[in-house]
Structure 1
Amino acid sequence: MLDSRHLATFHEVVGAGSYSAAARTLGCTQPAITQQMKALERSVGMPLFVRVGRRLGLTEAGEALARHTGVILDHLSAAEQQLHSLARLRGGRVRICAFPSANATLVPEAIARLLADHPGIRVELQEEEPPASLRRLPEGSCDIALAFSYPGFQVGASADLMEYPLMEDLLTVLLPVGHPAARRQTVRLPDLAAERWIAGCPRCQANLLHACAEQGFTPDIVFATDDNLAIQNLVSVGAGIALMPALVLAFLRHDKVTARAVEPHARRRIAAYVLREHAQVPAIAQVLKVLQEAASAHDGC
Structure 2
Amino acid sequence: MPDSSLLNGRHFQIFTAVMRSRGLAEAALKLGISKAAVSKTLVLMERETGVALFAREHGRLVPTAAARRLLPRAEQAANHLAWALEEATALAQASTPTVTVAAHAPPLMALLPKAIQRFQVSHPHVNVRVQVVGPPEVLKQVAHHEVDLGVTNPPAPNTISYVQMCERRTISEDLMVAVMHRRHPLVARSTVRPEDLVGLDVIALPEESPTSLLLRATLQEAGVQPDKGIVASTSMGVCALVQQNVGIGLINPMLLSTGIFPDIVSRPFRPRVELWTEIYRSAIRPLSEEAQVLARYIEEVALALPGAGALGKGRAKSRAVK
TM-score range, shorter chain: 0.5 to 0.7
Structure 1 position 228, deviation (Å) = 4.4
Matched, 1:133 2:142: no
Letter matched to residue 102 of structure 1 = P
Equivalent in the alignment of 1:189: 194
2:113 maps to: 108
Contact persistence 1:148–1:155 (CA under 8 A): no
Taking the aligned partners of 2:260 and 2:222, their CA distance within structure 1 comes to 28
Among candidates 213, 223, 226, match of residue 220 of structure 2: 213
Normalising by structure 1, we get a TM-score of 0.62
Q: Partners of 1:278 and 1:233 in 2: how far apart? A: 37
Q: Which amino acid aligns with 1:300?
A: G
Question: In the alignment, does 2:238 pair up with 1:231?
Answer: yes
| Structure 1 residue 262 corresponds to structure 2 residue 230 | no
Deviations 1:52-103 (A, max 9, x none): xxxxxxxxxxxxxxxxxxxxxxxxxxx7xx79xxxxxxx7311111112322
Q: Is the 8 A contact 2:101 2:151 kept in 1?
A: yes
Structure 1 residues 163 and 254: alpha-carbon distance in aligned structure 2, compared to 1, 3 A threshold: closer
Q: 1:211, 1:128 → 2: CA distance? A: 26
Aligned Cα root-mean-square deviation (Å): 3.0
Equivalent-residue separation in structure 2 for 1:138 and 1:244 (angstroms): 26
Question: Share of identical aligned residues, percent?
Answer: 22
Deviation at 1:154, TM superposition (A): 8.3
- In the TM superposition, residue 289 of structure 1 has moved relative to its aligned partner by 0.6
User: Which one has a larger percent strand, Structure 1 or Structure 2?
Assistant: 1
For residues 252 and 210 of structure 1, the distance between their equivalents in structure 2, rounded to whole angstroms, comes to 30
Give 3-state SS (helix, strand or coil) of 2:267's partner. Answer: strand
Letter in 1 for 2:167: M
The equivalent residue for 1:273 is 280
> Partner of 1:147 in structure 2?
152
Q: Does structure 2 conserve the Cα–Cα contact (< 8 Å) formed by 1:177 and 1:257? A: yes
C-alpha separation in 2, matches of 1:100 and 1:229? 6
Which one has a bigger Cα radius of gyration? 1
- In structure 2, the residue matched to 1:249 is 256
* Conserved? CA contact 1:168–1:268, under 8 Å: yes
Q: Deviations over 1:86-145 (max 9, x none)?
A: xxxxx7311111112322221111101112222233211112212222112232311111
1: CA distance, partners of 2:241 / 2:143: 38
Q: Which residue of 1 aligns with 2:299?
A: 292
How far is 1:276 from its partner?
Answer: 2.6
CA contact (8 A) 2:172 2:309 kept: yes
Unaligned runs of 5+ in 2: 1-90, 311-322
Deviation at 1:230, TM superposition (A): 4.5
Q: SS at 2:169's partner residue?
A: strand
Q: Which amino acid aligns with 1:93?
A: T
Number of residue pairs matched? 215
For 1:213 and 1:112, the matched residues in 2 are separated by: 43
Mapped contact 1:173–1:243 kept (Cα < 8 A): yes
- Contact preservation (8 Å) 2:215, 2:273: no
